[in-house]
């Protein structure tokens, strides 16, 4: 995962994609599902249909870590799908424990998306301090 992120930062998304795929095959423990990185990299490589397919696979399998959902929400927003990013952020915020270190960051991301969508403040937005 670390190598993949370094390759992305170095402007080498194809190499990053290979590293993310190897992380999936390895199956080791990671804070974020490597498929979130795969999806983001596929978008970067202008392969949005494949990226969305990866995201839907993650959704279908369920049991998604908060950090993974947050990453997917951010990716979707970055590539212009505010509505899908909002859905991911909302579902994750509702499923997230308040003591999860990712909780506040996720709520802030969700709030920012809602502002961009022109949605009124709701009860989850009120939790952002």
If one counts every other C-beta atom within 10 angstroms of the C-beta of residue 129, the result is: 6
Q: What pLDDT was estimated at residue 7?
A: 96
Instruction: Write down the domain spans for the chain.
Output: 1-63, 82-129
At residue 25, the 3 state secondary structure works out as helix
pTM value is 0.92
If one counts every other C-beta atom within 10 angstroms of the C-beta of residue 46, the result is: 9
Pick among 1.25.40, 1.10.357, 1.10.3470, 2.50.20: CATH of 1-63? 1.25.40
Q: What pLDDT was estimated at residue 31?
A: 84
Q: Which residues of the chain have pLDDT under 70?
A: 129
Assigned token pair, 86: 């909002």
């Amino acid at each position: 995962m670390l190598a993949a992120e370094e390759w992305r930062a170095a402007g080498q998304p194809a190499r990053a994609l290979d590293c993310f795929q190897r992380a999936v095959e390895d199956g080791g423990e990671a804070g974020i599902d490597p498929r979130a990185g795969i999806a983001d990299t596929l978008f970067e490589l202008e392969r949005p249909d494949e990226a969305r397919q990866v995201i839907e696979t993650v959704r279908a399998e369920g049991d998604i870590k908060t950090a993974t959902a947050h990453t997917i929400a951010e990716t979707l927003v970055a590539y212009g799908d505010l509505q899908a990013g909002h859905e991911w952020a909302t579902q994750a915020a509702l499923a997230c424990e308040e003591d999860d270190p990712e909780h506040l960051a996720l709520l802030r991301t969700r709030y920012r998306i809602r502002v961009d969508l022109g949605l009124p403040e709701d009860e989850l937005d009120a939790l952002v301090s």
